[in-house]
Amino acid sequence: MPCPASITVLLLCLQLKQYTLGLTLVLGFSVGLALVMVLSGVLAALSLRAASKRYGGFSGFGVWARRAPYLSSALIIVIGLVSIQLGWDGLQAS
């Protein structure tokens, strides 16, 4: 799915007839985003390795590591439900 920000930049540059500027901006945006995502993954992997060394393997840390996906999915569900409720309230007000 394309990024809405990159499509907006492309459309603005097309309207201004600055085709190479638009392509350059989207390329820079995409490369920067890819670098941030890769570096975040590397940082997470290195942090997990450091935490496992510091806390003596996965004995105590493993319990939290196994529960983390459930906790994060519950948090995302709560945020989604709050967003739906706020959107519904906004529709009712107008």
Q: What is the pLDDT of residue 16?
A: 93
Token pair for 53: 């060394």
pLDDT in tens, 30-77: 899 999 999 999 998 898 788 777 766 656 666 777 788 899 999 999
Model confidence, pTM: 0.53
Q: How far is residue 44's CA from residue 74's CA, in Å, rounded to a whole number? A: 21
Q: What is the pLDDT of residue 48?
A: 78
Angle at 70 between CA 67 and CA 75, to 5 degrees: 125
Domain ranges, ordered by start, for the chain: 1-54, 57-94
Residue 5 scores a pLDDT above 90: no
